[in-house]
Amino acid sequence: MTRTLLRNARIFDGLRDGLSEPGALLIGDDRILAVGAEADTAAADIAIDLEGRTVMPGLIDAHFHAYASRADLVALEKLPPTYVAQTGRVIMEDALRRGFTTIRDVGGADYGMWRALQEGVFEGPRLFYCGRAFSQSGGHGDIRAPHEDESVCGCAGHGLLAERVDGVDAIRRAAREALRKGAHHLKIFVSGGIASPSDPIWMMQFAEDEIVAVVDEAARRRAYVAAHAYTPETITRAVRLGVRTIEHGNLIDRATAALVVKAGAYVVPTLATYEAFRRSGLEDGAPKHLLDKLNDVYGQGIEAVRTCREAGVKLGFGTDLLGPMHKHQRDEFRLRAQVETPFEVLNSATAVNAEIVGMTGQLGTIAAGAYADMLVIDGNPLADLSLLYEDSVAIHSIWKAGRRVSTSVSRD
């Protein structure tokens, strides 16, 4: 085992607000072996002086689409799969270069990408995937125009990011297939969305028995269900039926936030994507209908974060970016900082997201036994969160599984 000693590091552990006094961190292979006094006296093969820089857990993005290389989802479906695999690789490599050492993909990424990462075919973030998200016909995952009967890609109801399933038997079969293919979680759309042409935001998608069925399939496989939901009534119904993470949640109100707390569920806001669409959506390839629907949720996103914080909801950290807008991934920090403390935002992007992906103590923290996925920062992000904003160059180095990632220079 190669042992690397990082000296003179001030540690943010992802869990507590504040930095440690300058001390040491011992890494062996892909794990953190010891932190603090115990590490200080250890024998190591390599020693690096971090000169008082901050060491914090690698970032986790809990709402990501590695295969979404286009903002126009219809155009995306028409791309050859081999092309999609290539762009997916680049999107993942870039996420790692921005400091995201783990991503949870909630529609698209699959066993093939996971396996390529596992085998070291390329260097990207750790991947937790669900395969295709499930949508009812006419739901958020159904991107056919109103005059179209056939599926957009000619592939029998399923596309790249989502598949259409209707009825309890169909959703059970789809869930079992996804879990067979190694899905870490299942994703359903239970309200209307922005990027789809025919469903209003307020629409309640899937019947109750369909949601119950998919939650049951996930639970028996010790997985869980993530649900795209905007409105109070769709969020309420989802958490009542056992959905574990609410994606977006922009229109949540106080009463609904209290129900989410009671259910022990999470909300994963994705402010960066609305901001990016508003700023450059059309030039970045988004269709017009998408921008028309944007106003239904845009301004409320930040209010939802405030409402959830006040109610004590466990907030994850996501981005949901598409196409060239992926480069704004770290803009989520700036947006969240409008209503949260730096600690709250960083805790979401590390320890809470680790909890969401079921890796408490292994990811999203700096502690003995955890994977050595870390960022070294020039300065203290708990005092100045702008060190992580998209234009910042304060990330000194990025470590994944105990190895310094080949470059910290982003292509953005």
Give contact residues for Zn ion (rule: CB under 5 A). Answer: 320
Distance, in Å, from the CA atom of 378 to the CA atom of 397, rounded to the nearest integer, reads 9
> CB of 351: closest distance to Zn ion in angstroms?
22
> CB of 319: closest distance to Zn ion in angstroms?
9
> CB of 320: closest distance to Zn ion in angstroms?
4
Q: Quick one: 210 or 320, whose CB is closer to Zn ion? A: 320
> CB of 63: closest distance to Zn ion in angstroms?
6
Which helix (H) or strand (E) segment holds residue 116: the answer is helix 111-118
Q: Quick one: 36 or 298, whose CB is closer to Zn ion? A: 298
**CB-based burial of residue 11 (10 Å sphere; 0-12 exposed, 13-18 middle, 19+ buried)?**
buried
> CB of 46: closest distance to Zn ion in angstroms?
40
Cβ-contact 339, 305 below 8 angstroms: yes
Closest of 69, 65, 186 to residue 130, by C-alpha: 186
Q: Quick one: 320 or 373, whose CB is closer to Zn ion? A: 320
DSSP string, 215-254: HHHHHHTT--EEEEE-SHHHHHHHHHTT--EEEE-TT--H
Q: Quick one: 55 or 84, whose CB is closer to Zn ion? A: 84
Distance, in Å, from the CA atom of 346 to the CA atom of 31, rounded to the nearest integer, reads 21
> CB of 313: closest distance to Zn ion in angstroms?
19
Rounded (5°) CA angle 86-91-93: 95
Q: Quick one: 129 or 371, whose CB is closer to Zn ion? A: 129
Q: Quick one: 270 or 365, whose CB is closer to Zn ion? A: 270
Farthest-apart Cα atoms in the chain, separation: 71
Q: Quick one: 61 or 355, whose CB is closer to Zn ion? A: 61
> CB of 152: closest distance to Zn ion in angstroms?
18
Residue 166 tokens read as 């209707």
Instruction: Provide the 3-class DSSP secondary structure of residue 325.
Output: helix
